[in-house]
Amino acid sequence: MTALHEGDADTALHDSRYRAVAAKDARFDGFFFTAVRTTGIYCRPSCPAVTPKPGNVVFYRSSAAAHSAGFRACRRCRPDTVPGSPEWDHRADAVGRAMRLIRDGVVERDGVEGLARRLGYSSRQVHRMLAAELGAGPLALARGARAHTARILVETTTLPMADVAHAAGFASVRQFNDTLREVYDRTPTELRSRRSPGPSGGHLTLRLAVRQPFDAAGLLQFLDDHAVPGLESVRDRTFARLVSLPHGPGVVELTLEDDHVVARLELADLRDTAVAVERSRRVLDLDADPIAIDTALGTDPALAELVAEVPGQRLPGSFDAAETALRTVVGQQVSVAGARTVLGRVVQQLGEPVELSLAAEQGLTHLFPSVEALAEIDPEILPMPRSRGRTLATVAGAVARGELDLTAGADRAEARATMLALRGIGPWTADYVLMRGLGDPDVLLTTDLVLRRELDRRGVTPDHTERWRPWRSYAGLHLWRSATTPERIAP
What is the set of active-site residues?
Answer: 43, 448
Give CA 317 to chain center in angstroms: 7
Q: How far apart are CA 362 and CA 358, in angstroms?
A: 6
CA distance 473 to 438: 12
**Rounded Cα gap, residues 82 and 210, in angstroms:** 8
Beta carbons of 212 and 205 less than 8 angstroms apart: no
Distance between CA 272 and CA 278 in Å, rounded?
Answer: 10
What residues form DSSP beta bridges with 321? none
Peptide bond into 369 cis (omega under 30): no
User: 10 Å Cβ neighbour count for 394?
Assistant: 19
Give the CB-side neighbour count of residue 143, counting CA atoms within 13 A. 20
CA–CA distances in Å: residue 240 to residues 200, 233, 352, 361? 18, 5, 17, 10
CA dihedral 163, 166, 172, 176 (to 10 degrees): -80
Question: 303-308 — which CB contacts under 8 Å span 24+ positions?
Answer: 303/468, 303/475, 303/478, 303/479, 306/478, 306/479, 306/481, 306/482, 307/478
CA 50 to chain centre: 33
Q: Which residues pair with 267 in a beta bridge?
A: 250
Q: What is the largest CA-CA distance in the chain?
A: 71
Contact assessment for residue 400 and residue 375, using Cβ atoms and an 8 Å cutoff: yes
Beta bridge partners of 242: 251
